[in-house]
Structures are given as C-alpha cells and as structure tokens.
Amino acid sequence: MKGNRAGADDAPENRCERSVKENKMKSNIFHKTIVAAALGVAFIAPVHAAPNPHQHQQASAVKYRPDVTFTLRTDIADGKLVFIGETGAIKGKVNPQLNVAEGAVVQINLVNGDGAIHDISVKDFDAKSDQVTAKGASTTIVFRANKKGEFTYICTLPGHVAAGMIGKIVVGDVQKAQAPKAAEVSQNPLNVGQAVGKRGPQKLTVNLETTEVVGQLMDGSTYKYWTFNNKVPGPFLRVRVGDTVTVNMANAKDSKMIHSVDFHAVTGPGGGAAVTQAAPGTEKSFTFKAINPGLYVYHCATPMVAQHISNGMYGMILVEPEGGLPMVDREFYVMQGELYTAQRHGTAGENEFSLEKLLDEKPEHMTFNGTHDALTKTHRMEAKVGETVRIFFGVGGPNATSSFHVIGEVFDRVYNLGDLTSPPLQNVQTTSVPPGGATMVEFKVEVPGRYILVDHALSRLEKGLAGILHVTGPENPEIFHSATKADPNSGH
Ligand SMILES: [Cu+2]
C-alpha cells in the first residue's frame, strides 16, 4: 500500500495557523490589487486615453465578462466606408443595428478590414477606441448601456461618418433570441458523491451510459454533446483504495458512435478502454482493483479520441486513501473542457463540430462543467465565511493546460497533480493542471463576496470559462476593508 496519508493527516487547522493566516492576509491584499489592476486594464485599456471626467466611473461600472459582444469589420461597400457585422445575427449586415438590454455590459470589437485608419466610438456612453491602422488589427470598447434610447456608433476619423461609418445602438427591452431549448447537460458541481470515511475495502459497481445528446451550450445556442450519463463532466465516482470496482458501460441504442471508457485510476489494458469499445445498443464490463489513491480523470478512448473527449466524454474518479480525506465544509466538482465549433463563439442556433479547429487546437468555447453558464447561472456554488472549501478540479481538455486560479483567494493547500498522499503545496495562487490531469485544492474563505474561478490564461474567460463561488457572512475588516463600497456590478 502506497498511501500513508502524510498529506491528509496534516489537517488544515493543526498547522502553523497563525503564520498561514498572516501570510494569507498579506497575499490577499496584494492579490486583490493585482487582480483589480489586471481586470481594470483589460476593460479600461481600449477606452480612449483622453481626459474624461466620466471615464473612471464608466470603467468601474463594467464587470468581468460582458453581457453581449458584437464584432464589426470595417469595409468598403459600393464606394462607401462601412461597418459590417462579423458574427451572430448581425453577420454580413452593413452598419447593423445593435440591440442591447438596458443595463447590459456591451463589448464591441472592431476589426480593420480595409487597411485605412479607423476607430469606433459610442459618444453617449463615453466609449471610444484606439485607432486601428493595419488590415487585420483590432480594438475593443466596453461600456454599460445604462440608459434607454437610440444611440449611434461611429468612426470618428474626419469624413468617415459622412462616408458611411455610422450605425445605430438601440438600448431597451430586447427580445431574447429565440433560444433553442435543449437538454441541460452541465454537471452540478455539488454532485461529489459519498465520502468513504473510515470503512474498509469493498466491492462496488459503477454503471455508465454513453449518450449523444443535443444540449444547451449558451443562451440561444446548442451543441450535440457526447456524454457519460447525460452530463458533462460525467459522474464523480468516489471509491476507496483497495476497493474492487466493476464498471458496466452501456452505449445507448440511439448513439451513432462506438464509445468506451479509460480510467486513469485503472491499472490494466487501456485503463479499461481495451475491453469497453461498445457499439450502439451494447454493453461492456470490466473489474479493477483501485491500488493507487488519488484524483483521476476518466474519458472515452474511441477514435478520434480528441473528438470524443472534446464533445464531453470525460469525468473524474476519486480514489480516497485509507481513512478518507480530511473533513472540510464544502466540496465541489469542476472540470475544464474545450469545444471546437465551425461557428464562431456566440453564434445562435446549433453549433457544429469542426475537425479543422480541433486539429489546430483552436477552441471556440471553453467551459467549466460543460456549458457557458454552468457555474455562473445554472448551478450555484456557495460557502459561508469561516468555512473550508475543497475543489476537485480536473481538465478533460482535450488540449489546453489550465492555470487554475480563484480570483480573490489563495489556495491554502494544493494536492498537486491530484497526489493525495504527499504533503500538499501551501499558499499557492495559481496551479497548473494538464489535460487528463487533476488537482485538489483547499482554502478557507474569510471575506464575503463573489470569487471567480478562472483559468488564468484569461483570453479563455472570453470563450466562456468562468465560475462563481458565492461567499456569504459577516464582513471581516481585519482581513479586507476599503472606503470604497464594492461595486455590486463588478462581478466580484
Ligand atoms: Cu466516445
């Protein structure tokens, strides 16, 4: 038996709590500043640098992710200069009307399509971009549409409005895009199974069904997911080291593909994949003994494996060490994945798989627990001030390494690479998790607020990768206070 639980016994509160806390205070203070600066820059930078009395207020009124994004490309059409819609409902339209809800945070990307100098400005919301000069160069404005009415977006270069670079923004009651209603495939992060506690080894059975199901990807768009048990990620399986586990894997009758399962916790051919290649309507089975404690990924391993994984066929199995894991107050199950769609991010309707983008490793969507809204709207992750939170975090991928981070928190303990038997790392800001890898992180929440789970490769936030941990309870001014009231619209 490998597991001596050196790490697990080293319980959170037994160990130099005072110095940990002091360190944490320091780190948190600096951390907050840095994060605020980083996010501030991200949103403020595109806005014109000229002195503007409203700018500060304007910038601080936005949040970590816009409610709506438009992309416009400059072009010359019929001898006129114009903006052309790039994606979604405005695609191909000249100077498209942009409809946004009152109060929405709006992002407009401008791509230079003709090689002349341009910019974009929405004067009524104090938003003005830098100039873009080269063909293919881009700029962005972000603002909160905080009043109803009809406004204009323009290029402010002399003569360009007269030449045709003007369009309308209508702020008001927006009719929701006809949202195609599809299955909810996102996995609830609260589904973490039953802790093994002090029990001895047992014989267990795990039933998996592989399915192909059209699921809601984001508001107004769907994707045909491939899943284990109709959720992405698949079920969180929780066993004890020494358990003998029989896996029954049925491939649904209405599947079109062969599917299988490879458990990284299994010692044997293909982690089980060698004996579970199941045609639609058939069932396969194998039995393994869990001999290595740890947190492990499982996934489909049928060609093209990357496609099966990307489409949603991944999950995790926790092999608890003898005696179980230390007690914590909250546990969450979170997995990161990528979707490669022919349609650009944000395109309404059904999004289809793109082989080309998969092979180029250029995902259009990146998600925690399968969909854009899984951990921001669909499911709610909560903790109370003073509680200890544990996140089982894995990367299905198939390709991107995650730089897992929780904005406004420091991981008190990181069970690096899902190793539960070595002493954990301590006081870690961001931890690297490879595709097909996992980590277990723990931290005590001291200050109420909204803490955002991200991959710190933050371009991915724009592709849907975000989750929120809501922490409620009394303020804790000793650890964090400010004369400025936290902006409830900041997203934090
Ligand atoms: Cu599969």
CA of 282 to the centre of ligand 1 (A): 13
Reduced to 3 DSSP states, what percent helix, strand and coil does the chain have, rounded to the nearest 5? Answer: 15, 40, 45
CA of 364 to the centre of ligand 1 (A): 21
CA of 411 to the centre of ligand 1 (A): 34
CA of 300 to the centre of ligand 1 (A): 5
Q: Do 239 and 319 contact (CB within 8 A), yes or no?
A: yes
CA atoms within 13 A on the CB side of 140: 17
CATH architecture for residues 1-44+177-476+486-492: Sandwich (2.60)
Please give the single-letter amino acid code of residue 168: K
219 pLDDT tier (thresholds 50, 70, 90): confident
341-363 burial, b at 16+ Cβ within 10 Å, e below that, comes to bebebbbbeebebbeebbeeeeb
57 pLDDT tier (thresholds 50, 70, 90): very low
Q: What is the domain partition of the chain in residue ranges?
A: 1-44+177-476+486-492, 67-172
The whole-angstrom separation of Cα 204 and Cα 136 is 57
Selected residue with higher pLDDT from 231 and 343: 231
444, 446, 452, 458: CA torsion to nearest 10? -80
CA of 321 to the centre of ligand 1 (A): 30
Q: Residue 209: pLDDT above 60? A: yes
pLDDT tens digit sequence for 165-204: 999 999 987 766 555 679 999 999 999 999 999 999 999 9
What pLDDT shows up at residue 68?
85
Q: Residue 127: pLDDT above 70? A: yes
CA of 28 to the centre of ligand 1 (A): 42
CA of 301 to the centre of ligand 1 (A): 6
pLDDT tens digit sequence for 264-279: 999 999 999 999 999 9
Q: What CATH class does 67-172 carry? A: mainly beta
